[in-house]
């Protein structure tokens, strides 16, 4: 079975600052990494290939440097990578991103399963998996924590919900998003590192995947970010002093006065 894993390259920290002059994010000096949630998707793809055979293709939409994330995924066991990169793709929201990925999937042709991470570290939306599924008219299951079985053109999985997990079945091909509970990603192998350095990563632009220019990038995006800001946190709390017993008594006194105990 051919497995496609979608991944995104993101800044390697959430501790980003806003430049007060330009009101944009300061990205200098921040190393880029594979979105941590996507590393579970890569690992699960590789494990499925080990169980059932086939191959793992990783695809990513991003600027030219996103190629590094694809090479890293190959060092972790993926077979091949495809970079979707074109100035026209820049500024895409989740709809335009999903549309671009769906066009790439159509060009890829045969595949049995598409795996995405549950959300990204930067945008935090978790929307590309379900939107990609809808555009491909494929079944979709979110928050998968275990793939129990793949057989007879279908799969049985567990997916996490607020108060437990659900066992779901779906025909294949399908799209899933995975949570970190699904596996523990391995470290790169020496053989994988060697392959990741030598393998050619094809770059597909708007022309190669045959997309309409007004449906990709910023012009294909329905949403606009009109402002970004840092949330303000100010300490207004009361810290109790004295020995432990005194602190506990003060606390209980306040909670009682507030009607909380």
Backbone phi, psi, residue 242, to 5°? 95, -170
Question: HSE on the CB side for 192, CA within 13 Å?
Answer: 17
Q: What is the DSSP string of 159-220?
A: EEETTEEEEEEEESSEEEEE-GGG--PPPPPHHHHHHHHH----EE-HHHHT--GGGSTGGG
**Given candidates 151, 187, 190, 235, which one binds another protein under the rule CB under 8 A?**
235
82-121 residues near another protein, rule: CB under 8 A: 93-95, 98, 118-119, 121
Q: Which two tokens stand for residue 104?
A: 């790439």
**Given candidates 31, 53, 164, 200, which one binds another protein under the rule CB under 8 A?**
164
60-79 residues near another protein, rule: CB under 8 A: none
Interface with another protein by CB under 8 A: which range of 65-73, 81-89, 187-195, 225-233? 225-233
Q: 19 or 50, CB closer to another protein?
A: 19
Q: Does position 190 bind another protein by CB under 8 A?
A: no
6-45 residues near another protein, rule: CB under 8 A: 11, 14-16, 18, 25
Cis peptide before 80 (omega within 30 of 0): no
Q: 26 or 194, CB closer to another protein?
A: 26
Burial (Cβ within 10 Å: 0-12, 13-18, ≥19) of residue 152 = exposed
Classified as helix, coil or strand, 207 is helix
Interface characters, 167-186, with another protein (x: CB under 8 A): xxxxx--x----xxx-----
Q: Which two tokens stand for residue 235?
A: 């300490």
**Given candidates 21, 152, 162, 190, which one binds another protein under the rule CB under 8 A?**
162
Q: Does position 230 bind another protein by CB under 8 A?
A: yes
CA distance 13 to 71: 20
Q: Which two tokens stand for residue 176?
A: 């899933």
Interface with another protein by CB under 8 A: which range of 51-59, 63-71, 109-117, 133-141? 133-141
Interface with another protein by CB under 8 A: which range of 63-71, 105-113, 204-212, 235-243? 235-243
Q: 50 or 134, CB closer to another protein?
A: 134
Which positions ≥6 away from 141 have C-beta within 8 Å?
A: 157, 159, 168, 170, 174, 175, 176, 177
Task: Quote the least distance from Cβ 184 to another protein, whole Å.
Answer: 11
Q: Does position 226 bind another protein by CB under 8 A?
A: yes
Pairing of strands 9-11, 55-61: unpaired
């Amino acid at each position: 079975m051919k497995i496609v894993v979608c991944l995104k390259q993101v800044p390697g920290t959430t501790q980003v600052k806003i430049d007060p002059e330009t009101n944009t994010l300061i990205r200098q000096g921040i190393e880029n990494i594979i979105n941590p949630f996507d590393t579970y998707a890569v690992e699960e793809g590789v494990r499925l290939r080990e169980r059932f055979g086939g191959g793992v293709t990783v695809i990513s939409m991003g600027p030219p440097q996103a190629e590094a994330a694809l090479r890293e995924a190959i060092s972790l066991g993926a077979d091949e990578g495809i970079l979707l990169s074109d100035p026209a793709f820049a500024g895409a929201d989740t709809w335009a991103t999903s549309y671009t990925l769906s066009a790439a999937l159509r060009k890829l042709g045969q595949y049995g399963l598409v795996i995405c991470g549950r959300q990204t570290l930067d945008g935090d939306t978790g929307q590309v998996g379900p939107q990609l599924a809808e555009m491909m008219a494929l079944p979709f299951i979110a928050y998968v924590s275990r793939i129990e079985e793949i057989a007879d053109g279908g799969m049985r999985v567990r997916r996490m919900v607020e108060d437990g997990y659900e066992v779901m079945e779906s025909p294949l091909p399908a799209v899933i998003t995975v949570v970190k509970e699904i596996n523990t990603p391995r470290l790169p192998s020496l053989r994988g590192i060697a392959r990741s350095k030598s393998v050619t990563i094809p770059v597909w632009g708007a022309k190669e995947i045959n997309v309409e220019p007004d449906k990709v990038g910023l012009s294909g995006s329905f949403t606009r970010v009109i402002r970004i800001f840092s949330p303000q946190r100010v300490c207004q709390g009361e810290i109790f002093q004295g020995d432990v017993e005194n602190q506990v008594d003060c606390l209980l006194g306040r909670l009682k006065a507030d009607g909380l105990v």
